Chain A
Amino acid sequence: MARIGVVTFPGTLDDRDAARAVRLAGAESVNLFHADSSLQDVDAVVLPGGFSYGDYLRAGAISRFSPIMERVVDAANGGMPVLGICNGFQVLTEVHLLPGSMIKNDHLHFVCRDQVLRVENNDTAWTNAYEAGAEITIPLKNQDGQYVADEHTLDELEAEGRVAFRYVGVNPNGSRRDIAGVTNARGNVVGLMPHPEHAVEAGFGPDSREAGRGGTDGLGFFTSALNALLASA
Protein backbone atom coordinates (compact mmCIF):
# COMPACT_ATOMS: atom_id res chain seq x y z
CA MET A 1 0.00 0.00 0.00
CA ALA A 2 1.23 3.48 -0.87
CA ARG A 3 2.46 5.47 2.12
CA ILE A 4 1.74 9.21 2.13
CA GLY A 5 3.33 11.35 4.83
CA VAL A 6 1.55 14.33 6.40
CA VAL A 7 3.84 16.84 8.11
CA THR A 8 2.88 18.50 11.40
CA PHE A 9 4.60 21.78 12.21
CA PRO A 10 3.94 23.70 15.46
CA GLY A 11 0.72 25.52 14.60
CA THR A 12 -0.44 23.18 11.83
CA LEU A 13 -4.24 22.78 11.94
CA ASP A 14 -5.32 20.48 9.14
CA ASP A 15 -2.95 17.52 9.51
CA ARG A 16 -5.69 15.21 10.84
CA ASP A 17 -8.02 16.03 7.95
CA ALA A 18 -5.20 15.59 5.44
CA ALA A 19 -4.31 12.19 6.94
CA ARG A 20 -7.96 11.20 6.79
CA ALA A 21 -8.16 12.23 3.13
CA VAL A 22 -5.11 10.09 2.41
CA ARG A 23 -6.77 7.08 4.03
CA LEU A 24 -10.12 7.64 2.27
CA ALA A 25 -8.24 7.67 -1.03
CA GLY A 26 -6.88 4.22 -0.18
CA ALA A 27 -3.35 4.96 0.99
CA GLU A 28 -1.67 4.59 4.35
CA SER A 29 -1.11 7.92 6.14
CA VAL A 30 2.17 8.42 7.97
CA ASN A 31 2.52 11.18 10.57
CA LEU A 32 5.70 13.18 10.06
CA PHE A 33 6.92 15.77 12.55
CA HIS A 34 8.73 19.03 11.79
CA ALA A 35 11.74 17.96 13.88
CA ASP A 36 12.08 14.56 12.16
CA SER A 37 15.08 14.07 9.94
CA SER A 38 13.62 11.02 8.20
CA LEU A 39 10.71 10.71 5.77
CA GLN A 40 10.13 7.13 6.99
CA ASP A 41 10.13 5.72 3.46
CA VAL A 42 6.93 7.50 2.42
CA ASP A 43 6.05 7.64 -1.27
CA ALA A 44 4.56 11.14 -1.21
CA VAL A 45 4.23 14.07 1.20
CA VAL A 46 1.43 16.49 2.08
CA LEU A 47 2.20 19.80 3.80
CA PRO A 48 -1.17 20.70 5.36
CA GLY A 49 -2.70 24.05 6.23
CA GLY A 50 -2.68 26.03 9.43
CA PHE A 51 -0.54 28.75 10.94
CA SER A 52 2.85 27.12 11.39
CA TYR A 53 5.00 29.09 13.84
CA GLY A 54 2.10 31.54 14.14
CA ASP A 55 2.89 32.92 10.66
CA TYR A 56 5.76 34.77 12.37
CA LEU A 57 8.12 36.65 10.03
CA ARG A 58 6.05 35.59 6.96
CA ALA A 59 3.59 32.72 6.49
CA GLY A 60 5.67 29.56 6.04
CA ALA A 61 8.99 31.36 6.50
CA ILE A 62 10.11 29.63 9.70
CA SER A 63 8.83 26.16 8.77
CA ARG A 64 11.09 26.28 5.78
CA PHE A 65 14.10 25.86 8.08
CA SER A 66 12.78 22.81 9.97
CA PRO A 67 14.76 19.55 9.66
CA ILE A 68 11.97 17.67 7.85
CA MET A 69 11.91 20.28 5.08
CA GLU A 70 15.50 19.47 4.06
CA ARG A 71 14.32 15.91 3.40
CA VAL A 72 11.17 17.09 1.64
CA VAL A 73 13.18 19.35 -0.69
CA ASP A 74 15.60 16.53 -1.55
CA ALA A 75 12.72 14.13 -2.19
CA ALA A 76 10.79 16.68 -4.27
CA ASN A 77 13.86 17.33 -6.40
CA GLY A 78 14.08 13.58 -6.88
CA GLY A 79 10.52 13.48 -8.22
CA MET A 80 8.47 12.54 -5.16
CA PRO A 81 4.90 13.91 -5.24
CA VAL A 82 4.58 16.79 -2.77
CA LEU A 83 1.34 18.71 -2.16
CA GLY A 84 1.21 21.98 -0.23
CA ILE A 85 -2.22 23.12 0.93
CA CYS A 86 -2.73 26.71 2.13
CA ASN A 87 0.04 27.22 4.72
CA GLY A 88 1.77 24.23 3.09
CA PHE A 89 1.69 26.13 -0.23
CA GLN A 90 3.26 29.12 1.55
CA VAL A 91 6.02 26.84 2.88
CA LEU A 92 6.67 25.50 -0.65
CA THR A 93 7.10 29.04 -2.01
CA GLU A 94 9.35 30.06 0.87
CA VAL A 95 11.56 27.02 0.27
CA HIS A 96 11.62 27.87 -3.47
CA LEU A 97 10.07 24.61 -4.69
CA LEU A 98 7.29 26.76 -6.21
CA PRO A 99 7.52 30.30 -7.59
CA GLY A 100 5.74 33.40 -6.27
CA SER A 101 4.52 34.19 -2.80
CA MET A 102 1.36 34.93 -0.83
CA ILE A 103 0.57 38.29 0.76
CA LYS A 104 -2.41 39.47 2.80
CA ASN A 105 -5.80 39.27 1.05
CA ASP A 106 -6.47 42.47 -0.89
CA HIS A 107 -9.61 43.14 1.22
CA LEU A 108 -7.66 42.42 4.46
CA HIS A 109 -10.31 40.08 5.86
CA PHE A 110 -10.05 36.40 6.66
CA VAL A 111 -12.13 34.58 4.07
CA CYS A 112 -13.90 31.24 4.49
CA ARG A 113 -16.14 29.96 1.72
CA ASP A 114 -16.87 27.10 -0.64
CA GLN A 115 -14.83 28.04 -3.70
CA VAL A 116 -15.14 26.95 -7.31
CA LEU A 117 -11.82 26.22 -9.05
CA ARG A 118 -10.97 25.23 -12.59
CA VAL A 119 -8.38 22.49 -13.02
CA GLU A 120 -6.09 24.14 -15.60
CA ASN A 121 -3.46 21.41 -15.67
CA ASN A 122 -4.55 17.80 -15.16
CA ASP A 123 -1.13 16.40 -15.98
CA THR A 124 0.41 16.61 -12.51
CA ALA A 125 0.88 14.07 -9.72
CA TRP A 126 -2.00 15.69 -7.81
CA THR A 127 -4.50 16.49 -10.60
CA ASN A 128 -4.44 13.57 -13.05
CA ALA A 129 -7.75 12.18 -11.72
CA TYR A 130 -9.60 15.27 -13.03
CA GLU A 131 -10.75 16.11 -16.53
CA ALA A 132 -8.89 19.05 -18.07
CA GLY A 133 -10.91 22.19 -17.39
CA ALA A 134 -13.04 20.46 -14.73
CA GLU A 135 -14.68 22.80 -12.23
CA ILE A 136 -14.51 21.61 -8.64
CA THR A 137 -15.80 23.07 -5.37
CA ILE A 138 -13.67 22.87 -2.24
CA PRO A 139 -13.41 25.05 0.88
CA LEU A 140 -11.13 28.08 0.98
CA LYS A 141 -10.05 29.72 4.25
CA ASN A 142 -7.17 32.13 4.56
CA GLN A 143 -5.90 35.56 5.53
CA ASP A 144 -2.67 35.63 3.52
CA GLY A 145 -3.95 34.10 0.30
CA GLN A 146 -3.19 36.69 -2.36
CA TYR A 147 -0.88 34.98 -4.85
CA VAL A 148 1.73 37.34 -6.26
CA ALA A 149 4.71 37.03 -8.59
CA ASP A 150 6.35 39.41 -11.05
CA GLU A 151 4.86 39.68 -14.55
CA HIS A 152 7.73 37.76 -16.12
CA THR A 153 7.22 34.81 -13.76
CA LEU A 154 3.44 34.90 -14.33
CA ASP A 155 3.91 34.89 -18.12
CA GLU A 156 6.32 31.97 -17.79
CA LEU A 157 3.86 30.02 -15.61
CA GLU A 158 1.07 30.59 -18.14
CA ALA A 159 3.26 29.65 -21.12
CA GLU A 160 4.45 26.44 -19.49
CA GLY A 161 0.98 25.40 -18.31
CA ARG A 162 2.08 25.63 -14.70
CA VAL A 163 -1.04 27.39 -13.45
CA ALA A 164 -2.67 24.31 -11.94
CA PHE A 165 -5.89 25.91 -10.63
CA ARG A 166 -7.73 29.17 -11.19
CA TYR A 167 -10.52 30.73 -9.14
CA VAL A 168 -13.86 30.70 -10.97
CA GLY A 169 -16.70 33.19 -10.43
CA VAL A 170 -15.00 35.26 -7.77
CA ASN A 171 -11.38 36.00 -7.00
CA PRO A 172 -11.54 35.71 -3.20
CA ASN A 173 -8.23 37.35 -2.29
CA GLY A 174 -6.90 39.44 -5.18
CA SER A 175 -4.56 36.73 -6.49
CA ARG A 176 -2.76 37.66 -9.72
CA ARG A 177 -4.55 36.30 -12.78
CA ASP A 178 -7.02 34.42 -10.52
CA ILE A 179 -4.32 31.86 -9.72
CA ALA A 180 -5.35 29.45 -6.94
CA GLY A 181 -2.51 26.95 -7.32
CA VAL A 182 0.64 26.23 -9.31
CA THR A 183 2.87 23.28 -10.14
CA ASN A 184 6.60 22.89 -10.71
CA ALA A 185 7.84 22.09 -14.22
CA ARG A 186 8.03 18.37 -13.52
CA GLY A 187 4.46 18.23 -12.19
CA ASN A 188 5.32 16.43 -8.95
CA VAL A 189 5.14 19.49 -6.66
CA VAL A 190 1.77 21.26 -6.47
CA GLY A 191 0.59 23.99 -4.12
CA LEU A 192 -2.78 25.71 -3.72
CA MET A 193 -4.59 27.90 -1.23
CA PRO A 194 -7.99 26.11 -1.08
CA HIS A 195 -8.44 22.89 0.91
CA PRO A 196 -9.13 19.64 -0.98
CA GLU A 197 -8.75 17.64 2.27
CA HIS A 198 -12.00 19.20 3.58
CA ALA A 199 -14.03 17.83 0.65
CA VAL A 200 -13.41 14.10 0.64
CA GLU A 201 -16.39 12.49 2.35
CA ALA A 202 -20.13 12.91 1.80
CA GLY A 203 -21.71 14.59 4.82
CA PHE A 204 -18.64 16.65 5.68
CA GLY A 205 -17.83 18.56 2.48
CA PRO A 206 -19.21 21.65 0.73
CA ASP A 207 -22.84 21.61 -0.41
CA SER A 208 -23.22 19.79 -3.71
CA ARG A 209 -25.99 19.53 -6.26
CA GLU A 210 -26.89 16.08 -4.90
CA ALA A 211 -26.87 16.75 -1.18
CA GLY A 212 -26.07 19.29 1.52
CA ARG A 213 -22.46 18.85 2.65
CA GLY A 214 -22.22 16.18 -0.06
CA GLY A 215 -19.24 17.57 -1.97
CA THR A 216 -16.25 15.27 -2.37
CA ASP A 217 -14.44 17.12 -5.17
CA GLY A 218 -11.19 17.17 -3.19
CA LEU A 219 -10.70 13.41 -3.09
CA GLY A 220 -9.26 13.45 -6.63
CA PHE A 221 -6.07 15.12 -5.38
CA PHE A 222 -5.24 12.10 -3.30
CA THR A 223 -6.31 9.46 -5.80
CA SER A 224 -4.23 11.36 -8.37
CA ALA A 225 -1.15 10.83 -6.20
CA LEU A 226 -1.91 7.10 -6.06
CA ASN A 227 -2.24 7.04 -9.87
CA ALA A 228 1.09 8.84 -10.19
CA LEU A 229 2.79 6.40 -7.82
CA LEU A 230 1.37 3.40 -9.70
CA ALA A 231 2.49 4.85 -13.03
CA SER A 232 6.03 5.37 -11.78
CA ALA A 233 6.27 1.98 -10.05
Chain B
Amino acid sequence: MATIVVHVMPKPEILDPQGKAVGNALPRLGFDGFEAVRQGKRFELTVDGEVTEELLGKAREAAETMLSNPVIEDVVAVEVVA
Protein backbone atom coordinates (compact mmCIF):
# COMPACT_ATOMS: atom_id res chain seq x y z
CA MET B 1 0.00 0.00 0.00
CA ALA B 2 1.22 3.46 -0.84
CA THR B 3 -0.39 6.86 -0.68
CA ILE B 4 -0.26 9.79 -3.06
CA VAL B 5 -0.77 13.04 -1.17
CA VAL B 6 -2.15 16.11 -2.94
CA HIS B 7 -1.82 19.51 -1.29
CA VAL B 8 -4.14 22.31 -2.42
CA MET B 9 -3.94 25.93 -1.22
CA PRO B 10 -6.03 29.02 -1.92
CA LYS B 11 -4.24 31.26 -4.45
CA PRO B 12 -2.07 33.91 -2.77
CA GLU B 13 -4.11 36.75 -4.28
CA ILE B 14 -7.41 35.26 -3.06
CA LEU B 15 -8.43 36.34 0.41
CA ASP B 16 -8.72 33.24 2.61
CA PRO B 17 -11.52 34.02 5.09
CA GLN B 18 -11.09 30.75 7.00
CA GLY B 19 -7.35 31.18 7.42
CA LYS B 20 -7.91 34.75 8.51
CA ALA B 21 -10.41 33.66 11.18
CA VAL B 22 -7.99 31.03 12.47
CA GLY B 23 -5.20 33.62 12.48
CA ASN B 24 -7.33 36.00 14.52
CA ALA B 25 -8.17 33.27 17.05
CA LEU B 26 -4.58 32.16 17.70
CA PRO B 27 -3.48 35.08 19.92
CA ARG B 28 -6.72 34.84 21.87
CA LEU B 29 -5.54 31.41 23.00
CA GLY B 30 -2.08 32.66 23.75
CA PHE B 31 -0.41 31.50 20.52
CA ASP B 32 1.40 34.73 19.74
CA GLY B 33 3.92 35.51 17.06
CA PHE B 34 2.17 34.22 13.96
CA GLU B 35 1.83 36.88 11.29
CA ALA B 36 -0.88 35.15 9.19
CA VAL B 37 -2.58 31.82 8.60
CA ARG B 38 -3.72 30.33 5.32
CA GLN B 39 -5.83 27.17 5.29
CA GLY B 40 -5.58 24.57 2.54
CA LYS B 41 -6.60 20.98 1.81
CA ARG B 42 -4.74 17.69 1.88
CA PHE B 43 -6.02 14.69 -0.09
CA GLU B 44 -4.68 11.15 0.44
CA LEU B 45 -5.13 8.83 -2.54
CA THR B 46 -4.39 5.27 -1.46
CA VAL B 47 -2.98 2.85 -4.01
CA ASP B 48 -3.07 -0.94 -3.84
CA GLY B 49 0.57 -1.80 -4.61
CA GLU B 50 3.22 0.32 -6.29
CA VAL B 51 2.71 3.91 -7.36
CA THR B 52 3.47 3.76 -11.08
CA GLU B 53 4.28 6.79 -13.23
CA GLU B 54 0.89 6.27 -14.88
CA LEU B 55 -0.96 6.43 -11.54
CA LEU B 56 1.04 9.46 -10.47
CA GLY B 57 0.13 11.12 -13.77
CA LYS B 58 -3.54 10.39 -13.17
CA ALA B 59 -3.28 11.79 -9.65
CA ARG B 60 -1.69 14.99 -11.02
CA GLU B 61 -4.47 15.32 -13.59
CA ALA B 62 -7.15 14.75 -10.93
CA ALA B 63 -5.43 17.30 -8.72
CA GLU B 64 -5.56 19.96 -11.44
CA THR B 65 -9.03 19.21 -12.82
CA MET B 66 -11.11 18.01 -9.88
CA LEU B 67 -9.42 18.26 -6.49
CA SER B 68 -8.66 21.93 -7.07
CA ASN B 69 -10.42 24.77 -8.86
CA PRO B 70 -7.74 26.72 -10.77
CA VAL B 71 -9.76 29.93 -10.46
CA ILE B 72 -9.26 30.07 -6.69
CA GLU B 73 -6.72 27.37 -5.78
CA ASP B 74 -3.22 26.10 -6.59
CA VAL B 75 -1.98 22.52 -6.41
CA VAL B 76 1.21 23.08 -4.42
CA ALA B 77 2.46 19.47 -4.24
CA VAL B 78 1.67 15.94 -5.39
CA GLU B 79 3.91 13.50 -3.52
CA VAL B 80 4.19 9.80 -2.78
CA VAL B 81 4.21 8.71 0.84
CA ALA B 82 5.15 5.11 1.55
Asked if A103 contacts B14 (CB within 8 A), the reply is yes
A58 touches B69 (CB 8 A): yes
Q: Is B1 an interface position by the 8 A CB rule?
A: no
Does A213 lie at the interface of the complex (its beta carbon under 8 Å from any beta carbon of B)? no
Q: Report the bound CA distance from A180 to B17 in whole Å.
A: 19
Which of the 9-residue segments A104-112, A125-133, A134-142, A223-231 touches chain B?
Answer: A104-112
Selected from B14, B18, B21, B66, the residue in CB contact (under 8 A) with A148 is B14
Docked-complex contact B21 and A108, CB < 8 angstroms: yes
Inter-chain contacts of A150 with B (CB < 8 A) = 13, 71
B16-38 contacts to A (CB < 8 Å): 17-18, 21
- Per the bound structure, the CA–CA distance linking A65 and B66 in Å amounts to 9
A106 contacts B15, CB within 8 Å? yes
Which residues of chain A have C-beta atoms less than 8 A from B14's C-beta? 103, 148
Chain A, 187-216, contact with B by CB distance < 8 Å: what is the 0/1 string? 000000000000000000000000000000
Give Cα A58 to B14, complex, Å: 15
A79 interface hit (Cβ, 8 Å): no
Q: How many residues from B make CB contacts under 8 Å with A?
A: 12
Instruction: Tell me the bound Cα distance from A148 to B69 in angstroms.
Output: 12
Count of A-B contacts with CB under 8 A? 36
Name the residue on B nearest A102 (C-beta): B72
CA distance A148 to B10 in the complex (A): 12
| Count of interface residues, chain A, beta-carbon cutoff 8 Å | 20
Contacts of A57 in B (CB 8 A): 66-67
For B59-82 the 0/1 string (1 means CB < 8 A from A) is: 000000011010110000000000
A61 contacts B by Cβ under 8 Å: yes
The CA of A143 and the CA of B76, in the complex, are separated in Å by 26
Which of A19-27, A36-44, A66-74, A93-101 forms part of the interface with chain B?
A: A93-101
The interface of chain B, by Cβ under 8 A from chain A, is 10, 13-15, 17-18, 21, 66-67, 69, 71-72
